[in-house]
Structure 1
Amino acid sequence: MTDHPFLVAGGGIGGLAAALGLARHGHPVRLFEQSPAFEEVGAGLQMSPNGVRALRSLGAWEAVEPYCVIPSEIHLRDGITGALLQRIRLGKPFEEQFGAPYRVCHRADLLSGLLTAARRNFKIELNPGRKVEAVAEMPSGARLTFADGTSADGAAVVAADGIRSRLREAVCGSIQPTPRGVILYRGLMPLQRVPPEIEADCVTLWLCPRGHVVHYPVSNWRNFNIVAALDGDLAECGWQAPAPSAEVARSFSGVCEDLSNLLAAPATFQRWQGADLPALPRWSSSRVVLLGDAAHATLPFLAQGAVMALEDAVILAREVTRAPGLAQGFEGYEGQRRARTARIQEQSRRMSRIYHAGGPVALARNLTLRLTKPSFALKRLEWIYRWTPENSG
Structure 2
Amino acid sequence: MNDQPFLIAGGGIGGLAAALGLARQSRPVRLFEQATGFEEIGAGLQMSPNGVRALKALGAWEAVEPSCVIPSEIHVRDGLSGAILQRIRLGKTFEERFGAPYRVCHRADLLAGLVTAAKRNFAIELNTGKRATGVEDMGEAARLGFADGSTARGAGVVAADGIRSTLRAAVAGEVAPTKRGVILYRGLMPLQRVPPEIEADCVTLWLCPGAHVVHYPVSNWRNFNVVVAVDGTLPDEGWKTPAHSGEVPKRLPGVYRELSLLLAAPASWTRWPGTDLGALPQWTRGRVALLGDAAHATLPFLAQGAVMALEDAVVLARETARGPDLPEAFRAYERQRRERTAKIQEQSRSMSRIYHASGVVAAGRNLTLRLSGPSFALGRLEWIYRWTPDATG
TM-score, normalised with respect to structure 1: 0.99
Aligned AA (1:242)? P
Aligned AA (1:230)? V
Q: CA deviation at 1:133?
A: 1.5
State the match for 1:154 in structure 2. Answer: 154
Alpha-carbon distance change, 236 to 61 in structure 1, aligned in 2, over 3 angstroms: closer
Aligned AA (2:150)? T
Local SS of the residue matching 1:11: coil
State the match for 2:204 in structure 1. Answer: 204
Aligned AA (1:361)? V
State the match for 1:71 in structure 2. Answer: 71
Report the Cα distance in structure 2 between the residues aligned to 1:276 and 1:263, rounded to whole angstroms.
26
Q: CA deviation at 1:197?
A: 0.3
Report the Cα distance in structure 2 between the residues aligned to 1:362 and 1:237, rounded to whole angstroms.
32
Report the Cα distance in structure 2 between the residues aligned to 1:235 and 1:10, rounded to whole angstroms.
25
Q: 1:48 touches 1:103 (CA, 8 Å); kept in 2?
A: yes
Local SS of the residue matching 2:321: helix
State the match for 1:347 in structure 2. Answer: 347
Q: 1:244 touches 1:267 (CA, 8 Å); kept in 2?
A: no
Aligned AA (1:300)? P
Provide Cα deviations, 1:5-56, integer angstroms capped at 9, x if missing partner: 0000000000000000000001000000001110100000000000000000
Local SS of the residue matching 1:244: coil
Q: 1:245 touches 1:265 (CA, 8 Å); kept in 2?
A: no
The more displaced of 365-374 and 38-47 is 365-374
Provide Cα deviations, 1:356-387, integer angstroms capped at 9, x if missing partner: 00000000000111111211110110000000
Report the Cα distance in structure 2 between the residues aligned to 1:237 and 1:120, rounded to whole angstroms.
36
State the match for 1:105 in structure 2. Answer: 105
Q: CA deviation at 1:237?
A: 4.8
Q: 1:68 touches 1:105 (CA, 8 Å); kept in 2?
A: yes
Aligned AA (1:306)? A
The number of aligned residues is: 393
Identity of aligned residues (%): 74
Q: 2:2 touches 2:324 (CA, 8 Å); kept in 1?
A: no
Local SS of the residue matching 1:181: strand
State the match for 2:9 in structure 1. Answer: 9
| 2:136 counterpart of 1:125 | no
| 2:361 counterpart of 1:361 | yes
The more displaced of 180-189 and 244-253 is 244-253
| 2:373 counterpart of 1:373 | yes
Aligned AA (2:267)? A
Local SS of the residue matching 1:268: coil
Report the Cα distance in structure 2 between the residues aligned to 1:68 and 1:2, rounded to whole angstroms.
38
Q: 1:245 touches 1:267 (CA, 8 Å); kept in 2?
A: no
Local SS of the residue matching 1:71: coil
Local SS of the residue matching 2:347: helix
The more displaced of 142-151 and 246-255 is 142-151
| 2:136 counterpart of 1:136 | yes
Aligned AA (1:353)? R
Report the Cα distance in structure 2 between the residues aligned to 1:322 and 1:373, rounded to whole angstroms.
43
Report the Cα distance in structure 1 between the residues aligned to 2:245 and 2:112, rounded to whole angstroms.
28
Provide Cα deviations, 1:123-154, integer angstroms capped at 9, x if missing partner: 00000111111112212211111111111111
State the match for 1:309 in structure 2. Answer: 309
Aligned AA (2:61)? W
| 2:268 counterpart of 1:265 | no
Provide Cα deviations, 1:52-83, integer angstroms capped at 9, x if missing partner: 00000000000000000000000000001111
Alignment of 1:147-226 (within 5 A): 147-226=147-226
Q: 2:213 touches 2:229 (CA, 8 Å); kept in 1?
A: yes
Provide Cα deviations, 1:319-339, integer angstroms capped at 9, x if missing partner: 011034011101110111000
Report the Cα distance in structure 1 between the residues aligned to 2:234 and 2:240, rounded to whole angstroms.
11
State the match for 1:92 in structure 2. Answer: 92
Report the Cα distance in structure 2 between the residues aligned to 1:197 and 1:245, rounded to whole angstroms.
23
Local SS of the residue matching 1:105: strand
Q: 2:236 touches 2:272 (CA, 8 Å); kept in 1?
A: no
Report the Cα distance in structure 2 between the residues aligned to 1:245 and 1:197, rounded to whole angstroms.
23
State the match for 1:241 in structure 2. Answer: 241
TM-score, normalised with respect to structure 2: 0.99
Report the Cα distance in structure 1 between the residues aligned to 2:328 and 2:310, rounded to whole angstroms.
21
Provide Cα deviations, 1:165-210, integer angstroms capped at 9, x if missing partner: 0000000110000000000000000000000000000000000000
Aligned AA (2:44)? G
Alignment of 1:18-33 (within 5 A): 18-33=18-33
Report the Cα distance in structure 2 between the residues aligned to 1:329 and 1:138, rounded to whole angstroms.
17
The more displaced of 303-312 and 316-325 is 316-325
Provide Cα deviations, 1:278-317, integer angstroms capped at 9, x if missing partner: 0000001011100000000000000000000000000000
Structure 2 unaligned regions, length at least 5: none
Q: 1:49 touches 1:100 (CA, 8 Å); kept in 2?
A: yes
Aligned residues: CA RMSD: 0.8
Q: 2:155 touches 2:287 (CA, 8 Å); kept in 1?
A: yes
